[in-house]
């Protein structure tokens, strides 16, 4: 059975409606077609639990359009077939967004290098474990290209495309330049 074409034929719709409600008139109530008082309920166009009823209604509508007798009332008529299991590739509706498999990350840690030789006398001696709160920027197209290092001298950008990016510790280099210029007298 193909998709039903619009516009729908009102006479065929009435005939399919009357037939499906008649077939399920004795089903326990409340149910998808009747409320507790026996009033008709319209089928929900998207409720997965009513898929079999919608398929049954479509077959009745097609039969009404063709002028044929509705499918027989033989064994199994009026019963709703069991809902098939969804394919394993279906994802829940509440989580339609997935991370991009091509997204990458940029992980940077700035550490104090061991000193290979004694520093000049003018070099400020400051012993610190790392470069905490140091400003860093990147050319990566991230949500926030400008960040600060954490207490361990670390920063990470997630969800960026693969590629080569510049990482600049601009405040650190600026301070070094200022100290050097002051000592050299430039």
Q: How many domains does the chain have?
A: 2
**pLDDT of 44:** 85
**pLDDT of 20:** 92
CB 157 within 8 A of CB 106: yes
User: How much is the mean pLDDT over the chain?
Assistant: 77
User: pLDDT digits over 78-121, tens only?
Assistant: 455 556 665 566 666 666 666 565 678 888 888 777 777 777 77
In a domain, 82, yes or no: yes
In a domain, 123, yes or no: yes
**pLDDT of 75:** 46
Return d(Cα 147, Cα 158) in angstroms, integer: 13
In a domain, 93, yes or no: no
Question: Domain range holding 79?
Answer: 1-86
- The answer to whether residue 74 scores a pLDDT higher than 80 is no
In a domain, 125, yes or no: yes
Q: How many CA atoms, within 13 angstroms, populate the side-chain half-sphere of residue 112?
A: 12
Token representation of residue 25: 């008139």
In a domain, 94, yes or no: no
Question: Last residue of a domain, which of 54, 86, 118?
Answer: 86
State how far Cα 50 lies from the chain centre: 26
Q: What proportions of the chain, in percent to the nearest 5, are helix, strand and coil? A: 25, 15, 60
User: pLDDT digits over 140-186, tens only?
Assistant: 776 566 788 888 788 888 878 777 888 887 776 777 778 888 877 75
């Amino acid at each position: 059975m193909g998709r039903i074409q619009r516009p729908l034929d009102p006479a065929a719709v009435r005939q399919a409606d009357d037939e499906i409600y008649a077939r399920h008139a004795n089903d326990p109530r409340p149910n998808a077609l009747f409320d507790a008082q026996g009033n008709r309920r319209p089928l929900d166009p998207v409720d997965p639990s009513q898929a079999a009823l919608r398929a049954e209604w479509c077959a009745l509508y097609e039969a009404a359009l063709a002028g044929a007798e509705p499918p027989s009332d033989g064994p199994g008529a009026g019963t709703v077939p069991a809902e098939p299991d969804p394919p394993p590739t279906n994802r829940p509706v509440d989580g339609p967004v997935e991370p991009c498999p091509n997204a990458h990350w940029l992980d940077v840690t700035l550490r104090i290098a061991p000193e290979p030789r004694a520093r000049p006398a003018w070099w400020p001696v400051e012993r610190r474990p790392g470069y905490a709160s140091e400003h860093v920027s990147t050319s990566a197209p991230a949500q926030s290209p400008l960040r600060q290092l954490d207490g361990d001298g670390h920063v990470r950008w997630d969800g960026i495309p693969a590629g080569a990016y510049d990482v600049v510790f601009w405040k650190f280099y600026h301070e070094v330049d200022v100290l050097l210029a002051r000592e050299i007298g430039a």
